Structure 1
Amino acid sequence: MEISSSIVGGAIAQPLDQERQVRVLKKALEAEAATALALIDAVPKPQPVAASNPPHLGQNIDTRA
């Protein structure tokens, strides 16, 4: 009888262990997401670059060449 009761006890404990593991995994994923967002926010935003050419250059395209 002791063997069967330990098997039943183990079968009941498995879903609880799985639920606990899923909760730990979800918390780990949430922590990873928060870290990723913090890293993305830490990247400096690019500043607009002024054109280095004079205003009359680069306005026309020769399509017959």
Structure 2
Amino acid sequence: MDAVSVASMMTAMQQAQLQDQVGTAVLRKALDVQESTAQALLSALPQIQQAPISASNPPHLGNSVNIFA
């Protein structure tokens, strides 16, 4: 190999490494934005008071699973 081909190969490798770093940084930023948006949506939901499960169903419901189809 001559010096020119080695230099061009090194330049190409450095460009590929830089592109990988930029892509990773953009992905990380997109995930951060997505996380903050999801947190904002979750905090905007109204809080619901749940009744105890036993109060909403008769006592005979939910005690067994029918495995026959």
Q: Which structure has the bigger radius of gyration?
A: 1
TM score, norm. by length of structure 1: 0.62
TM score, norm. by length of structure 2: 0.59
- Whether 2:17 is the aligned partner of 1:15: answer yes
Name structure 2 gaps, 5 residues minimum: 52-58, 60-69
RMSD: 2.3
Q: Hey, what does 2:66 align to over in structure 1?
A: none
Structure 1 runs (4+) greater than 3 angstroms displaced: none
Percent identity between the two aligned chains: 31
Residue by residue, what CA displacement relative to the aligned partner does 1:17-39 show, whole Å, maximum 9, x if unpaired?
10111000000000000000001
Length, aligned pairs only: 50
Q: Hey, what does 1:57 align to over in structure 2?
A: none
